[in-house]
Amino acid sequence: MHITNPFANPEKIIGICGGGQLGKMLCEAASAWDWKTAVLDQSPDDPAARLAHKFVQGDFTKYEDVLNFGKQVDVLTIEIEKVNLEALIELEKMGKIVHPSPRALGIIKDKALQKQFFIDQGLPTVPQELFDTKDDVLKAIESGFLQIPFVQKLRTDGYDGRGVAIIRTEEDLNLLLDGLCLVEPLVEIEAEVAVIAARNVNGEIKTFPPVAMAFHPEANLVEYLYCPSGLGPALELEATQIAQAAIEALDICGLLAVEMFLTADGDWLINEVAPRPHNSGHHTIECCNVSQFQQHLLAICNLPLIDPQLQLPGVMINLLGEEGFEGPVKYMGVEQALRLGSVYVHLYGKKITKPFRKMGHITVANRSVSQAIRTANFLKEHIKVIS
Ligand code: ADP
């Protein structure tokens, strides 16, 4: 087993496939420790490109680009699931350290394989039926095999709610997506919770405190995130144990963010997982003794993990591109927000804003959760991402 410790070998390079905001924040965490990073993505304007020690221009979905990039780094990781899998498999064969493992990534990339994996492992999840096309879904409704309501999900490449159609009524059928998909029952959700687990090669596992997520009804993506979750210790323990079981079953080194539903009946169901830093862990930068980004770096280098502790309650809001604006970005109201204190603004540096595009986030830390929520609500009204 290769042991790579960038503290002892500062010339070691952590390669990150993907130059988005998660890559940027990984680079920020690495930089604080003087670890060297390289980023692979399409444009020198991508959020992580300017922060990495080395930016390699290329397409992380292309075999050759990932292979050539991987050869130049010591430990290879990802910040997006879409990375070319065959190249990662080849790099692993060549003896490169690749985390998450291509095997786990192959399962997770396809929502249907992911769900089948959980079912096979006895982990709680929502049952599914698979379809090849939108027409097949419609035929299944006509024949009475499938009943409304249900949720349709494209098997691959969905993100931020794109690739998910929630069908509550017949009128919603025009939302159906075309392509290989799964259909699952519409769950009566009491709470949406995420637990980020970390695991290193030695098998050490640490989990971050559970967070509760509130979703934007139209955009279908996280609008607010709260930590502590408010669920109480017994439910939090159950959610944490599911996340631990999931990271172990997938045999992942690095982070695994586990998104779960708590149903009205008090049952936990895994919705989906992500083998990388996650939107639900952004508050860890300011609110915990270790950030999800630091923990991911420690885990992929097989260094001892830190036991995450919440030091201050936090509420996180995503800064989404305002509806009706598309073009070069402007952020309005940030300077007033900063004056409120304990308001941590992260702007990702994406040049172009679009409706609902994730352009940044803000964490509000406060001893009083209700005060943090009030401040977050105020910020949602007063900070606008426009063009
Ligand atoms: P993405 O991969 O784009 O984040 P998700 O699978 O997480 O998509 O779905 C987005 C949101 O849609 C979920 O957070 C949840 O609010 C809602 N959703 C997804 N599946 C179901 C379901 N089976 N029942 C009810 N709501 C669901």
- Where residue 172 falls (left for φ over 0; alpha for ψ -120 to 50; beta otherwise) is alpha
CA–CA dist 245, 69 (Å, integer): 32
**Closest ligand 1 atom to Cα of 163:** 3
| Residue of 80, 114, 159, 164 best suited for mutating to test ligand 1, as the one with most atoms within 8 Å of CB | 164
Identity of the amino acid at 24: K
Strands 189-199 and 254-263: antiparallel
Q: Is the entire prediction scored with pTM above 0.85?
A: yes
Domain range 127-185, CATH architecture: 2-Layer Sandwich (3.30)
User: Tell me, which fold does domain 13-98 have in CATH?
Assistant: Rossmann fold (3.40.50)
What's residue 158's pLDDT?
80
Per-residue confidence (pLDDT) for residue 159, from 0 to 100: 74
CA 99, CA 97: separation in Å to the nearest integer?
7
Q: Return residue ranges of the chain for CATH 3.30.1490.20.
A: 127-185
Residues of the chain with CATH 3.30.470.20: 188-309, 312-387
pLDDT of residue 373: 86
Instruction: Please give the pLDDT value at position 220.
Output: 61
Atom of ligand 1 nearest to the CA of 153: 6
Q: Which residues sit with their C-beta closer than 6 Å to ligand 1?
A: 126, 151, 153, 158-161, 163-164, 184, 186-187, 189, 192, 215, 220, 259, 271-272
Q: Assign a CATH topology to domain 312-387.
A: D-amino Acid Aminotransferase; Chain A, domain 1 (3.30.470)
User: For the chain, which ranges sit under pLDDT 50?
Assistant: 1
CA angle 367, 369, 375 (to 5 degrees): 100
Distance 271 CA to ligand 1 centre (A): 7
**Which residue lies with its CA nearest to atom 2 of ligand 1?**
159
Pocket test for ligand 1, best of 155, 156, 166 (most atoms within 8 A of CB): 166
165 alpha carbon – ligand 1 mean position (Å): 9
The string of pLDDT tens digits covering residues 179-223 is: 999 999 999 999 999 999 999 999 999 999 999 988 766 656 567
Q: What is the pLDDT of residue 221?
A: 57
Give the architecture (CATH level 2) of 188-309.
2-Layer Sandwich (3.30)
Where in the chain is CATH 3.40.50.20?
Answer: 13-98
User: Which distant-in-sequence residues (6+ apart) come within 8 Å of 373 by Cβ?
Assistant: 224, 226, 315
Return the pLDDT at 370: 85
